[in-house]
Amino acid sequence: MSLPRRPPALLAAPFLALALLLAGCSSGTAPEKAPVGVPGQGAAGPQSDAASTLPTSPGPVPVPSPAEIPDLGPETLAQIPAEARQAFVVTGEEADSYRSSAVLYSRADPAQGWEPVAGPWPAHNGMDGWTDHHVAGDRRSPTGVYTLTDAGGRLPDPGSLLPYDEHPRFAVDGEGFFGEPLEGSFDYVVAINYNRKEGVSPLNRTRPLGLERGGGIWIHVDHEGPTQGCVSLPEERMEELLRTLDPEMNPVIVMGDAVSLRR
């Protein structure tokens, strides 16, 4: 007796399943692309990693040091008191020169350091220049850093912030080294605290170091020539200086020839 035949469709089903199994993913849908930014799998492959990574954080920003006064060396800078916030710097051309220039510096903000606020102004100093051991009659100006606390003059106070002594004893006459008239030289003065008592009139003659070490070293009105040891400025600059030096800022004068000040 013959067996009944299977329908053709039933015979084809196992072969269709086998064909799909052998074809695998090559005949299926394309795999999803890796997300951009995954290390090693960027949109352009491993080469795109650098573009896909986040930037590194910047390092600390360096803080600038407070500005120092130009052309002053470490020894000179060390002599400026920490509390001083005004410095009148008088720089001689040479050790034996009587010509100099002056600049007023201020450090209203210690974090910012020193800043020039006036000058440069032309100035004169001692006839024979500068010395680090001034003695009476040597015709040289003493180098160093000195406080400025007292002012005065023959003329009325022009608006000085320092204590001001108006007195006729500031009158002077005669001639300078080159025959120039000295009249009016002491119309305005600021006492430099070299070998003197602070807090008194510039006319006070107390000499703590002794008379042989000289004294009466002032900033005064220029008479267009060298001095005996003082520093002199044009009259209008003296008025400006008197109105600017502030005892609340503990002003000092830094004075000497350029080479000495760079030490």
For β-strands 115-124 and 99-106, DSSP reports them as antiparallel
Contact 185, 172 (CB under 8 A): yes
SS3 231: strand
For the record, the structure tokens of 234 come out as 């044009």
Question: What are phi and psi for residue 152, nearest 5 degrees?
Answer: 180, -170
Which residues have a catalytic role annotated?
220, 230
CA dist list (Å): 126 to 131, 210, 249, 258: 10, 20, 28, 15
